């Protein structure tokens, strides 16, 4: 049957799917040149549960980001030590030697010594690296640290001015922006912009924001930037503490940010960051990201392997259960779609994300919630002649099992039920 199944050249927004997301001709707003910044190798590694990937793994991840059309990458934190500096410099040389399109940046505190380390790396490699100079901005952080606003403004001006004088482009990052006072946000950003910052980054550092808060904050930020230099670009950096990283990032995009930050598998401190893989899938489904997602599976699995972070079974798109079912009604619908010779249909009848979009396929299993369609389809795809007696034999065993049967167990049941493989075309009995 597999030979007869053809891809259907049909738009998924066809009459077969009534799309409430597109009601009243809604189109997802975004900057035409929306960019992605991958923070996996810096902010992602702040999780206390990850291990620092080996340098060859980081290099491969860098190439996968390039192949996935990621626009920028945070190469690390120079202030983290000698190993960090060595890795940053090696990755930087890889970008240069391989003539990669991806643009590098590094996180540095808003202090001269951190920026000096980045200046030295840039000088040794012969190419400027964007300095992501970060500083706390919320009242609670100021209180704990005994920081005055005057001190923050002074540090901002000195650090940004120093970086710019040494030839580094600056993205000025305010930690905990989503809990900062509007006047503080205004003064910090406008000071950084006047000192030469060409980007500012709005951070939901502890995952405090809701989509409504994101919209309100970014409206405020856009207005204060316009007062000084409307050409300054705006980044969004979100976290998952409330489980809102993806909707918040999508709202940031709809609110007109120029670039969004994310990490593979959403790795990062506490509950992690916006997951880059889920973000790219959502952007593709919204028609915003038009590149190929063919390498996204390798990217996700390499992140998992390199950092030691397992992929949950029910993780969206790349979890083991994402395109797998043993439920009778669901399996029957997928089988019926395949019997129509329509893989496009089979990929959508019980899936909000088409498996083929990310190089995956729908998988039908046999378990205690399965029906005859599951068994019949399994037998057909494994080359066995299906009979009512054999189907009933396997289904009875499945209903008595507390879990999905393995292929080995089903082969054994077929043998016990005296099932026979179909003769190959042209063979003799």
Could you read off the pLDDT of 84-98 as tens digits, one per residue? 999 999 999 999 999
**CB neighbours of residue 21 within 10 Å:** 9
- At 32 the pLDDT is 86
Q: Which residues, in sequence order, are CB contacts of 287 under 8 Å at separation 6+?
A: 28
pLDDT score of 392: 93
Band of residue 12 on the pLDDT scale cut at 50, 70, 90: very low
pLDDT tier at 401, thresholds 50, 70, 90: very high
Residue 80 pLDDT grade (very low, low, confident, very high; cuts 50, 70, 90) = confident
Residue 344 has pLDDT above 70, yes or no: yes
Rounded CA separation 214/203 (Å) = 10
pLDDT at 208: 97
Read off the pLDDT band of 14 (50, 70, 90): low
Beta-carbon count within 10 A of 376 CB: 21
pLDDT at res. 339: 87
CB 195 within 8 A of CB 154: no
**Quick one: pLDDT at residue 2?**
42
Q: Where in the chain is the domain with CATH 3.20.20.70?
A: 33-307
| Predicted confidence band of residue 5 (pLDDT cuts 50, 70, 90) | very low
Binned at pLDDT 50, 70 and 90, residue 423 comes out as low
pLDDT of 427 above 80:
no
Q: What is the dihedral of CA 121, 127, 130, 135, to 10 degrees?
A: 20
What pLDDT, on a 0 to 100 scale, did the predictor assign at position 242?
97
Listed range (80-84, 216-220, 318-322) with the worst mean pLDDT: 80-84
Residue with tokens 């012969």: 126
Q: What mean pLDDT comes out for the span 59-70? A: 98
CB crowding 350-371: b at 16 or more within 10 Å, else e: bbebbbbbbebebebbbbebbb
Contacts 24+ apart (CB under 8 A), 215-218: 215/251, 215/254, 215/255, 217/177, 217/178, 217/185, 218/252, 218/255, 218/256, 218/257
Reported CATH class of domain 33-307:
alpha beta
pLDDT tens per residue across span 266-316: 999 999 999 999 999 999 999 899 889 999 999 999 999 999 999 999 999
175-198 pLDDT, tens digit each:
999 999 999 999 999 999 999 999
Rounded mean pLDDT of the chain? 92
pLDDT band at 419 (very low <50, low <70, confident <90, very high): low
Interhelix angle 245-254/276-285, rounded to 10 degrees, is: 50
pLDDT tens per residue, range 130-169 = 999 999 999 999 999 999 999 999 999 999 999 999 999 9
pLDDT at 422: 65
pTM for the whole structure? 0.90
Rg (C-alpha) for the chain, rounded Å, is: 26
Task: Tell whether the model's pLDDT for residue 49 goes beyond 90.
Answer: yes
Q: If you average pLDDT over residues 204-226, what whole number do you get?
A: 97
Number of residues in the chain: 429
212-240 burial, b if ≥16 CB within 10 A, otherwise e?
A: ebbbebbeebeebbeeeeeebbbbbbbbb
SS (H, E, C) the chain: CHHHCECCCCCCCCCCCCCHHHHHHCCCCCCCCCEEEECCCCHHHHCCCCCCCCHHHHHHHHHHHHHCCCCEEECCCHHHCHHHHHHHHHHHHHHHHCCCCCEEEEEEECCHHHHHHHHHHHHHHCCCCEEEEEEECCHHHHHHHCCCHHHHHHHHHHHHHHHHHCCCCEEEEEECHHHCCHHHHHHHHHHHHHHCCCEEEEECCCCCCCHHHHHHHHHHHHHHHHHHCCCCEEEEECECCCCCHHHHHHHHHHCCCCEEEEEHHHCCCCCCECEHHHHHHHHHHCCCCCCCCCCHHHHHHHHHHHHCCCCCCCCCCCCCCCCEECCHHHHHHHHHHHHCCEHHHHCCCCCCCCHHHHCCCCEECCCCCCCHHHHHHHHHHCCECCCHHHHHHHHHHHHHCCCCCCHHHHHHHHHHCCCCECCCCCCCC
* Cα 153 versus chain centre, distance: 34
Reported as a single tens digit per residue, the pLDDT across 241-260 is: 999 999 999 999 999 999 99
Give the residue-averaged pLDDT of 346-366.
91
Does the pLDDT at position 24 exceed 90? no
């Amino acid at each position: 049957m597999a030979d007869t199944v053809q891809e259907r050249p049909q738009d998924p927004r066809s009459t077969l799917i009534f799309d409430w997301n597109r009601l009243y001709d809604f189109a997802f707003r975004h900057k035409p040149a929306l960019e992605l910044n991958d923070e996996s190798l810096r902010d992602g590694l702040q999780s206390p549960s990850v291990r620092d990937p080996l340098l060859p793994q980081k290099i491969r991840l860098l190439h996968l980001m390039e192949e996935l059309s990621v626009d920028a990458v945070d190469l690390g934190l120079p202030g983290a030590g000698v190993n960090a500096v060595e890795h940053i410099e090696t990755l930087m040389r890889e970008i240069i030697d391989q003539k990669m399109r991806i643009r590098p940046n590094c996180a540095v505190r808003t202090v001269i010594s951190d920026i000096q380390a980045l200046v030295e790396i840039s000088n040794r490699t012969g190419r400027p690296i964007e300095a992501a100079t970060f500083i706390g901005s919320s009242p609670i952080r100021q209180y704990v640290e005994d920081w005055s606003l005057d001190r923050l403004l002074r540090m901002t001006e000195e650090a940004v001015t120093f970086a710019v004088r040494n030839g580094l482009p600056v993205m000025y990052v305010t930690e905990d922006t989503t809990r900062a006072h509007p006047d503080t946000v205004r003064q910090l950003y406008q000071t950084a912009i006047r000192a030469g910052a060409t980007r500012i980054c709005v951070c939901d550092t502890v995952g405090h924001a809701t989509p409504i808060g994101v919209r309100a904050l970014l409206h405020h930020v856009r207005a204060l930037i316009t007062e000084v230099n409307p050409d300054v670009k705006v980044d969004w950096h979100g976290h998952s503490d409330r489980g809102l990283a993806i909707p918040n990032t999508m709202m940031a995009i709809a609110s007109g940010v120029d670039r969004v930050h994310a990490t593979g598998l959403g790795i990062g401190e506490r509950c992690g960051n916006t997951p880059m893989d889920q973000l790219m899938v959502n952007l593709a489904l919204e028609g915003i990201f038009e590149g190929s997602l063919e390498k996204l599976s390798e990217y996700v699995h390499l992140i998992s392997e390199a950092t030691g972070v397992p992929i949950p079974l029910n993780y969206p798109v790349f979890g083991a259960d994402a395109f797998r079912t043993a439920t009778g009604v669901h399996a029957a619908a997928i089988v019926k779609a395949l019997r129509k010779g329509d893989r496009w249909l089979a990929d959508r009848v019980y899936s909000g994300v088409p498996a083929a979009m990310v190089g995956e396929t729908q998988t039908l299993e046999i378990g205690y919630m399965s029906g005859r369609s599951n068994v019949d389809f399994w037998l057909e795809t494994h080359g066995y002649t299906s009979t009512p007696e054999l189907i009933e034999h396997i289904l009875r065993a499945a209903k008595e099992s507390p879990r999905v049967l393995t292929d080995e167990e089903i082969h054994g049941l077929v043998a016990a039920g005296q099932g026979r493989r179909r003769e190959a075309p042209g063979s003799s009995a």
